[in-house]
């Protein structure tokens, strides 16, 4: 039976969490967006870890009600004061430019400049992260202190960006399992220098993919690294025929902060992944939260749109908008910790492992109880459980293994831990008393 070894494949000297943090550190400086070379560079680095397939979807491609936008790239941007000094410089932080900003290079009055500045009065040293993907605009994001220091009557502004026909870039990685049924794991790749909001997801998901590809799985696993919203819409539009294979999915985001976990149920609310994710989170800590689906947030919005209605939830630590550093320059490499990243990896893997092991068995000796003693099962202890409890687990499993109840169903009905039921099933299968229902 597969057990999760949390330290497998950890290279010399670094814990898995430290490796994940180091990976986020490498990706941090890159200026990503929903399209462009920053995404390509990010995926090129990711491809050194796992053999992803990189896809390009041309600008102008119709994807349901949307159109793949023009590709955005940027080389530099600044605001110069009357002495020629760069008072705001994209080289210091890629958050300084309104993401998807149109190009500009001219003198502007302070009044005009101010109408294109974004800042946070409540956090005077933080730069906000702002985007304008679908409305052509130019702008800068600055700290409130920088904003207050702008007093010259005229400034030179330069945003050396291009918006032109190109493509939307995403990556996919598929691990075939024993069945064609798939588990979809999706994470977004479109945020620039923000650590928790998207780099934590990319790091944790890549580690999960790397672990799952090295073990034998019942389900097939599909990982997609896509820009938020337009990426999920594009992927669904281009893969509509494959969607029928998706049995479950999780949208991974915000996995590096110190907060507890929040699982947002799928729109269908009571699917196997919803129940198992809730079980794992509650078993781990009473501080973890389970919340109902709502049609906002990350890409579960698209996967759970009524035309797809997939069993896809979202598992994050502190939810979006609920930590002060969200979408600011303080969502940085100090906000995310190696320990949190590692724990997120463990939680994901625990949920996925449980789903993978949640088989519906059939009792091969259903007429009266089989004699456990003659099969050597009567005095077995299951793991750390005492003999008597383990006997009950054997009896419950035999009694409910009718082909319709999964091991999780049996654990729920018997009020026993999933792990104990799973161990009982493993022992019963070993002596031929259970057989796997072939799906
Ligand atoms: Zn975000």
- Report CA(191)–ligand 1 centroid distance (Å): 7
Instruction: Give 386's Cβ-side CA count (13 Å radius).
Output: 2
- Report CA(298)–ligand 1 centroid distance (Å): 8
Superfamily of domain 10-68+167-357: Zn peptidases (3.40.630.10)
- Report CA(324)–ligand 1 centroid distance (Å): 13
Q: How high is the pLDDT of residue 349? A: 98
- Report CA(193)–ligand 1 centroid distance (Å): 11
- Report CA(28)–ligand 1 centroid distance (Å): 14
pTM of the predicted structure, to 2 decimals: 0.94
- Report CA(339)–ligand 1 centroid distance (Å): 22
Q: Domain 360-436 class?
A: mainly alpha
- Report CA(197)–ligand 1 centroid distance (Å): 5
- Report CA(121)–ligand 1 centroid distance (Å): 20
The CA distance from 351 to 250, in Å, is 10
- Report CA(175)–ligand 1 centroid distance (Å): 28
Nearest to 313 by CA among 222, 255, 357, 248: 248
Tens of pLDDT, residue by residue over 369-426, are 999 989 988 776 666 568 888 999 999 999 999 999 999 999 999 999 999 999 999 9
In the chain the first and final C-alpha atoms are separated, in Å, by: 20
Strands 220-226 and 182-188: parallel
- Report CA(68)–ligand 1 centroid distance (Å): 19
Tens of pLDDT, residue by residue over 273-285, are 999 999 999 999 9
Architecture of the CATH domain 71-164: 3-Layer(bba) Sandwich (3.50)
- Report CA(187)–ligand 1 centroid distance (Å): 11
The CA distance from 244 to 201, in Å, is 25
- Report CA(188)–ligand 1 centroid distance (Å): 9
- Report CA(133)–ligand 1 centroid distance (Å): 13
Tens of pLDDT, residue by residue over 29-47, are 999 999 999 999 999 999 9
pLDDT tier for residue 346 given thresholds of 50, 70 and 90? very high
Give percent above pLDDT 70 in the chain.
95
- Report CA(350)–ligand 1 centroid distance (Å): 26
Strands 71-80 and 86-89: antiparallel
- Report CA(325)–ligand 1 centroid distance (Å): 11
Q: How high is the pLDDT of residue 387? A: 83
The CA distance from 34 to 427, in Å, is 50
Tell me the three-class secondary structure of the chain, residue by residue.
CCCCCCCCCCCCCCCHHHHHHHHHHHHCCCCCCCCCHHHHHHHHHHCCCCCCEEEEEECCCEECCEECCCEEEEEEEEEECCCCCEEEECCCCHHHECECCCCEEEEEEHHHHHCCEECCCCCCCCCECCECCCCCCCCEECCHHHHHHCCCCEEEEEEEEEEECCEEEEEEEEECCCCCCEEEEEEECCCCCCHHHHHHHHHHHHHHHHHHCCCCCCCEEEEEEECCCHHHHHHHHHCCCCHHHEEEEEEECCCCCCCCCEEECCCCCCCHHHHHHHHHHHHHCCCCEEECCCCCCCCHHHHCCCCCCCCEEEEECCCCCCCCCCCECCCCCCCCCHHHHHHHHHHHHHHHHHHHHCCEEEECCCCCCCCCHHHCCCCCCCCCCCHHHHHHHHHHHHHHCEEEEEHHHHHHHHCCCHHHHHHHHHHHHHCCCEEECCC
Q: Where are the domains of the chain?
A: 10-68+167-357, 71-164, 360-436
Tens of pLDDT, residue by residue over 292-336, are 999 999 999 999 999 999 999 999 999 999 999 999 999 999 999
- Report CA(190)–ligand 1 centroid distance (Å): 8
The CA distance from 123 to 111, in Å, is 23
- Report CA(119)–ligand 1 centroid distance (Å): 17
- Report CA(165)–ligand 1 centroid distance (Å): 25
- Report CA(327)–ligand 1 centroid distance (Å): 6
- Report CA(65)–ligand 1 centroid distance (Å): 22
Lowest-pLDDT choice from 121-125, 269-273, 376-380, 426-430: 376-380
Tens of pLDDT, residue by residue over 85-114, are 999 999 999 999 999 999 999 999 999 999
């Amino acid at each position: 039976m597969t057990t999760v070894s949390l330290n497998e494949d950890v290279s010399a000297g670094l814990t898995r969490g430290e490796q994940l943090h180091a990976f986020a550190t490498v990706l941090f400086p890159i200026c990503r967006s929903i399209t462009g070379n920053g995404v390509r560079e990010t995926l090129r680095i990711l491809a050194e870890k796992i053999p992803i397939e990189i896809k390009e979807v041309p600008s102008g491609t119709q994807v349901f009600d949307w159109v793949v936008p023009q590709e955005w790239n940027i080389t530099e941007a600044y605001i110069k004061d009357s002495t020629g000094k760069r008072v705001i410089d994209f080289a210091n932080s890629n958050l300084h430019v309104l993401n998807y900003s149109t190009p500009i290079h001219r003198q502007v009055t302070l009044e005009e400049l101010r109408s294109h500045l974004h800042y946070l009065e409540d956090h005077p040293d933080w730069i906000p992260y702002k985007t304008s993907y679908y409305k052509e605009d130019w702008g800068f994001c600055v700290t409130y202190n920088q904003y207050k220091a702008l007093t010259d009557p005229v400034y030179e502004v330069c945003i050396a960006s291009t918006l032109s026909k190109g493509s939307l870039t995403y990556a996919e990685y598929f691990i075939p399992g024993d069945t064609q049924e798939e588990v979809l794991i999706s994470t977004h790749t479109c945020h620039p220098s923000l650590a928790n909001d998207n780099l934590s997801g990319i790091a944790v998901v890549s580690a999960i993919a790397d672990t799952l590809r090295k073990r034998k799985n019942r389900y097939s696993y599909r990982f997609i690294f896509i820009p938020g919203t337009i990426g999920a819409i594009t992927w669904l539009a281009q893969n509509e025929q494959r969607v029928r294979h998706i049995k479950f999915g999780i949208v991974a985001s915000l996995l590096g902060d110190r907060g507890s976990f929040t699982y947002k149920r799928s729109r269908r609310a009571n699917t196997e992944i919803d129940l198992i994710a809730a079980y794992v989170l509650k078993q781990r800590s009473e501080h973890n939260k389970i919340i109902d689906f709502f049609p906002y947030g990350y890409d579960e919005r698209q996967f759970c749109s009524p035309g797809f209605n997939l069993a896809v939830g979202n598992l994050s630590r502190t939810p979006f908008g609920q930590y002060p550093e969200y979408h600011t320059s303080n969502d940085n490499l100090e906000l995310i910790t190696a320990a949190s990243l590692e724990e997120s990896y463990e939680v994901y893997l625990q949920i996925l492992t449980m789903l993978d092991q949640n088989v519906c068995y059939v009792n091969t000796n259903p007429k009266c109880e089989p004699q456990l003693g003659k099969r050597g099962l009567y005095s077995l202890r299951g793991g750390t459980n005492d003999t008597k409890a383990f006997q009950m687990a054997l009896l419950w499993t035999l009694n409910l293994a009718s082909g319709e109840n999964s091991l999780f169903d049996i654990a729920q009905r018997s009020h026993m831990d999933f792990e104990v039921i799973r161990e009982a099933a493993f022992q019963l299968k070993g002596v031929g008393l259970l057989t796997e229902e072939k799906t």
